[in-house]
């Protein structure tokens, strides 16, 4: 799709829109009406903005665009998980997932088209990173998944996790702008405490979150509790080793007091021994983490890893429990539609 020369008005602040309207001799409150159409009513066309004059709508249509994501495909899992493939204005595909549980309706959103980190167990890691998503595109993911939640469950999403495609802290500015819109009373008005940003371990970005005094929760995708193993499966660890990440997490907590979670996928005969569990305990005790999510591995075509036996998983969990680690086994959701953790790759 050829990019239009018209400007994306969704990147404009309310103040910029007010200045534009006033320069045309329009009342200031008209800018607020336009802003509400964009961010509260999620209008996809200027023609829909019926409380603006026909002349103004025509002018807006000539000068600006509303390049929203569109839903290209939707898949429904037997367990209720819903995966949506979205298409951007320039023809790229990106995926988001709606995960229903008894207490929550969670939207799992992407921050990049593809990924540059090449984690060996993750389908997205085998894709090239095409580009970062812009903040309005990330907001679109939430809006469209929320629409699906209302249609399927007659209620809004309750939580958002940045655990889809891409590394959020390598798209730092746009992710924070998106969260600002998602939490703004002028837009979606969600609580920041219901948002979790997951990182593969960008220590500099974790510290920056602390300096920016963000209000959302943070999750670290650890997946191995020593540098040798983590280097093997997550190349980012070579420049962001565990000790550096522990220091960054403690800095983040000192600055914000926000909840920290560790994510740890179990791989058969790689990181699932009791020695691995003990190494995980040691890291857990160095950080004021609220929780360790132990995650079932979801096999992908290109990776050699396998899911451990139920007995080994149980032994691992029992060891953590004996050491008074607040750990939870997270069952995979949406495996049958490639929507589970580590499976997003624009398939099917």
Catalytic residues: 95, 341
Alpha-carbon torsion, ordered 133, 136, 139, 143, to 10 deg: -120
Using CA atoms, how far apart are residues 259 and 218, in angstroms rounded to an integer?
6
For 299, other C-beta atoms within 10 Å of its C-beta total: 15
Residues 53 and 30: their CA atoms lie apart, in Å, by 10
Q: Which two structure tokens, joined as six digits, stand for 73?
A: 């495909």
Using DSSP bridges, classify how beta strands 82-87 and 93-100 pair: parallel, antiparallel or unpaired: antiparallel
CB atoms within 10 A of CB 131: 13
- Name the pairing type of β-strands 93-100 and 105-108: antiparallel
Distance (Å, whole) CA 146 – CA 132: 22
> Please, is 175 exposed, middle or buried when counting C-beta atoms within 10 Å of its C-beta (0-12, 13-18, 19+)?
buried
Structure-block tokens of residue 302? 């290109």
């Amino acid at each position: 799709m050829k990019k239009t020369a018209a400007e994306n008005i969704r990147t404009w602040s309310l103040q910029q829109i007010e200045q534009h309207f006033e320069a045309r001799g329009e009342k200031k409150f008209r800018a607020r009406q336009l802003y509400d159409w964009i961010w509260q009513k999620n209008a996809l066309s200027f023609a829909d903005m019926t409380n603006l004059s026909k002349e103004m709508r025509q002018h807006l249509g000539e000068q600006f665009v509303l390049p929203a994501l569109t839903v290209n495909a939707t898949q429904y899992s037997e367990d209720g998980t819903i995966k949506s493939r979205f298409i951007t204005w320039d023809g790229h595909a990106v995926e988001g997932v709606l995960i229903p549980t008894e207490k929550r309706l969670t939207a799992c959103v992407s921050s990049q088209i593809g990924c540059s980190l090449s984690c060996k167990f993750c389908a997205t890691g085998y894709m090239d990173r095409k580009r970062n998503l812009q903040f309005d595109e990330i907001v679109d993911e939430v809006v469209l998944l929320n629409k699906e939640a209302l249609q399927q469950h007659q209620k809004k999403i309750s939580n958002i996790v940045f655990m889809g495609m891409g590394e959020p802290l390598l798209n730092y500015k746009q992710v924070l702008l998106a969260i600002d819109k998602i939490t703004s009373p002028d837009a979606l008005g969600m609580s920041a405490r219901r948002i979790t940003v997951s990182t593969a371990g960008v220590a500099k970005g974790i510290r920056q979150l602390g300096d920016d005094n963000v209000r959302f929760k943070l999750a670290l995708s650890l997946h191995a509790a020593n540098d040798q193993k983590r280097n093997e499966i997550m190349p980012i660890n070579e420049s962001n080793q565990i000790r550096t990440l522990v220091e960054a997490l403690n800095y983040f907590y000192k600055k914000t007091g926000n909840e920290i979670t560790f994510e740890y996928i179990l791989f058969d005969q790689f990181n699932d021994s009791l020695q691995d569990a003990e190494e995980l305990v040691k890291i857990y005790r160095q950080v004021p983490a609220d929780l360790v999510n132990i995650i079932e591995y979801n096999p992908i075509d290109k990776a050699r890893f396998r899911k451990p036996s139920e007995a080994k998983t149980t032994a691992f969990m029992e060891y953590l429990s004996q050491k008074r680690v607040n750990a939870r086994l997270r069952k995979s959701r949406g495996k049958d539609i490639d929507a589970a953790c580590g499976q997003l790759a624009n398939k099917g």
